[in-house]
A and B are shown apart, each in its own frame.
With several copies, the nearest count.
Chain A
């Protein structure tokens, strides 16, 4: 019945150094009151993975904004459309150190995303709206939109920096 259910992503095991473990799948409808349910489930999940409190908030924020965009743009405000959220734990080995990561995959059945419209607007102009993509891209290491059959797939990945990286990321970014 649910067109999404059969389409579990099988194309992500290519990268040889990354191991992936299934953590959680959420299925819900495109009703904005359910955004808090996604945040509620993800918060303890990413906490478990050893991210810093700030990185936790970035991941939650990115997923929340991405799901809000599906509700608003992909489904144009319709409240009863299916959304699926997969959370996987990633591990990769870089320079002998193991990095923990999280991968969130979002699926919707809306029309194909027009990727030319996926433009984060310049922030020097002060006006409401147009901040979502900016937040998503600023929060995650990887943000990939892809058409997968009749579905849109958004792939979000973030790794917890190793102790070395942790120092680096604590520095203020120039703004």
Chain B
């Protein structure tokens, strides 16, 4: 799993590739919280295009990201979900809780 951040105006896009499971979800959590709490960032978009699989510990990291963004008054959005990622959010009854977009353009549109 690799994760890296890029800045597009006042949004940060976090690109992840590889699978997210118990072995690396703490890294995802750390990167998410760091970017969300960064000053001046109004939106953090997590790019899951390169992620085929997310387990429940990965989902837990996303929920932590969401809570942190609510605290800091910024937006946390997801895009590029695989069928598997969508299913695990759905079965966890969290799909409607997240702002989910198809692609980057939509995810960072004003």
Contact = CB atoms under 8 A, between A and B. Distances in A.
Interface stretch (A15-23, A103-111, A125-133, A150-158): A125-133
B21 A135 contact: no
Contacts of B57: 68, 129
A134 interface: yes
A32 interface: yes
A64 B21 contact: yes
Given A35-B21, A35-B22, A64-B21, A135 B64 contact: no
Main secondary structure of the interface of B (DSSP, over half): helix
A54 B86 CA distance: 11
Nearest to B94: A126
Nearest to B62: A128
Interface residues of B, number: 24
A65 B87 CA distance: 14
A39 interface: yes
B10 to A, nearest CB: 26
B53 interface: yes
Given A64-B55, A131-B56, 8 more contacts: A35-B21, A36-B19, A36-B21, A39-B19, A57-B83, A68-B21, A123-B93, A126-B63
